[in-house]
Amino acid sequence: MTDALPMTQGKGLALSPGALAGLKVIDLTRVLGGPYCTMVLSDHGAEVIKLEPPQGDEVRDWGPPFDEAGDASYFLGVNRNKRSVGLDLAKPEGREVLLRLLEGADVLVENFKPGSMEKWGLGYEAVLRERFPALVHCRVSGFGGDGPDGGFPGYDAVLQAMTGLMSINGTGDSGPTRLGNPIVDIATGLFSAIAILMALQERVRSGQGQYLDMTLHDCGMALLHPHAANYFLSGRRPMATGNPHPNLAPYSKFRTRTCEIFVAAGNDPAFRKFCEFLGMPELAGDPRFATNGARVTNREALTALLEARFAAEDGHALTRRMLQAGLPAGPVRHVDEAMAAPHTAHREMVTELDGYRGLGTPIKLSRTPGGTRAPPPRFAEHTEAVLARHGFSAEEIAALREGGVLVEARRK
């Protein structure tokens, strides 16, 4: 049932129908975790129908900056390739519309508060599994529906705090610090996409769909490597170390004459090569630095020596020479600098289409490359077209619109 989306000139565009062509996804999610998941699927050919509540996805308002139509960058960044339908699920007729749209759907993704779908008579166990046995139903929530924290609301920074991620970010002076990007939401979107693909693969064998219980809590916890592993083995509470790696040295940020750089020596042979490159072979033979364990123990002394060595260098030229010598290193770039880097363009990690610019897909497939297919939708932009394709007559659509079930302008 997937329509071919028109392609024009741009960057990072999908050059094939995609690995997930023919997959139909009904998307009831808002904010970030769920929409990030469905964007990943849509980049690779899935038809994603985004059913927005009367107020719309609230991140349309999470700005500035806003585009010329008033949609915030936060929304634009994670909703390309989707079709938007404005639908009031609080009305029984709206829930009937959803059930008709689920006919032939492969995946339903939602992030309502646990219990909401059940309250509406749309629970997986009681209704959806019986009516749509092949449906994969993915629920994204803060903590799940049961347990000591079950049903509580979840936002990224709150889960960064509660799962321990914040405690190992920052420095001893700063104290626990929120990561600068919403890492728990994004990770939950990625884990959810993986879970959906697993369930679809299993469905090939069994013919059955299943329910996927994805939480910000669990996905945040899953990001705690190596700090959780360190704790399990040592019994000591992991602490924030700033830029240095807790288990490796040198693996940190250093100042140079022109910029800050990050260098990484992952093992003892790499450190010896690193020292030879810097003209400091004696460091590799120093008992304080001869092994990684010794270097971690004597991190401050090693850092002081390297800071002195790097102080007069042009960091951009130095890290380029290091990379050419096979030594992991790079300049510490600002976001605008990273977007403008030549390799970013080469990898098509900035995508453009019809005035839209965003981050490109990192998933590069040889036969079925994905990418941008359509700009992010305006609110309810595709309501009539989507319903008509699903068998709704013009009279039915008009009646639903008249009854306020279909929403064409956001309710503030």
Fold of 260-331: formyl-coa transferase, domain 3 (3.30.1540)
User: Taking residues 163-178, what's their average pLDDT?
Assistant: 94
pLDDT score recorded for residue 96: 97
Secondary structure of residue 196 in the 3-state scheme: helix
Sorting pLDDT into bands at 50, 70 and 90, what band is 165? very high
CA distance 62 to 65: 8
CB-based contact 255:310 (threshold 8 Å): yes
Check whether 87 has a pLDDT greater than 90: yes
pLDDT score recorded for residue 9: 72
CB-based contact 138:212 (threshold 8 Å): yes
CB-based contact 163:221 (threshold 8 Å): yes
Closest CA to 307 of 267, 336, 273, 280: 280
Read off the tokens for 190.
Answer: 């990625």
Q: How many CB atoms lie within 10 A of CB 133?
A: 12
User: Taking residues 350-361, what's their average pLDDT?
Assistant: 95
Check whether 4 has a pLDDT greater than 90: no
Between 357 and 266, the higher pLDDT residue: 357
Class of domain 10-223+347-402: alpha beta
Give the chain's mean pLDDT. 95
List beta partners, residue 351: 358
- The catalytic residue positions are 185
Q: What global pTM score does this model have?
A: 0.93
Query: 298-310 b/e with 16+ CB inside 10 Å = b?
Result: ebeebbebbeebb
Confirm whether 10-223+347-402 and 260-331 share one CATH topology.
no
pLDDT score recorded for residue 241: 85
- DSSP-assigned letter for residue 381: T
Percent of the chain with pLDDT over 70: 98
Check whether 211 has a pLDDT greater than 50: yes
Sorting pLDDT into bands at 50, 70 and 90, what band is 342? very high
Q: How many CB atoms lie within 10 A of CB 92?
A: 11
User: Taking residues 74-95, what's their average pLDDT?
Assistant: 97
Percent of the chain with pLDDT over 90: 94
CA distance 66 to 61: 8
Check whether 81 has a pLDDT greater than 90: yes
pLDDT score recorded for residue 5: 45
- The residues spanned by each domain of the chain are 10-223+347-402, 260-331
Sorting pLDDT into bands at 50, 70 and 90, what band is 299? very high
pLDDT score recorded for residue 412: 82
Q: How many CB atoms lie within 10 A of CB 1?
A: 9
Q: Calculate the CA 346 to chain-centre distance.
A: 22
Sorting pLDDT into bands at 50, 70 and 90, what band is 305? very high
Sorting pLDDT into bands at 50, 70 and 90, what band is 6? very low
Helix axes 156-163, 183-206, angle to 10 degrees: 90
pLDDT score recorded for residue 8: 54
Closest CA to 61 of 78, 75, 51: 75
Read off the tokens for 367.
Answer: 């036969």
